Amino acid sequence: MVEKFDPVQSANETARESARHLLRDSRFGTIATINENGYPFASIVNFALDRNDLPFLLVSRLSAHTKHLLADRRCSLLLGEPGKGDPLAHPRMTIISTASIIDPSSDEIIILRTLFLARHPKSALYIDFPDFIFIRLTMIEASLNGGFGKAFRLYKNDLS
């Protein structure tokens, strides 16, 4: 019997640090949701990190991706900003998550609002519009691609 080769490695400390770096330094990502017909739908979103360094979003209830998340909480967030040369040679990470609306009356909203504005000061123009809500992404697992031959599977405890 021939064993299948899995090119995706378990996380090591270098992968963990690269993943944390992507989270800290990326200001936006591409969120993939599932639309009403069951197809993937991707759009760019700003995100910030909560006190546990996990991503949360400020989104409008009017946007397609928010409507999708309200109907089906499964999503993924792709992070990574290519530099010069081949974009596939630069680190990137997909965080597979479930989305949850953060209760607007919770005490946590003040902290999240402050963290989001610190990362995205121009969002002050719309952060208080009534259709905007915060959504927390609870990570299930992540796929980190650090360049050729550097693919890793990470879990929530790898990012803390």
Each residue's pLDDT tens digit in the chain (160 positions)?
666 766 677 778 888 899 999 999 999 999 999 999 999 999 999 999 999 888 999 999 999 999 999 999 999 999 997 778 777 777 899 999 999 999 999 999 999 999 999 999 999 999 999 999 999 999 999 999 977 778 889 998 888 7
End-to-end CA distance of the chain: 39
For the chain, domains (ranges, CATH) are: 8-158 (2.30.110.10)
Do 60 and 54 meet the contact criterion of CB atoms below 8 Å apart?
A: no
Q: 55: closest CA among 83, 73, 31, 72? A: 31
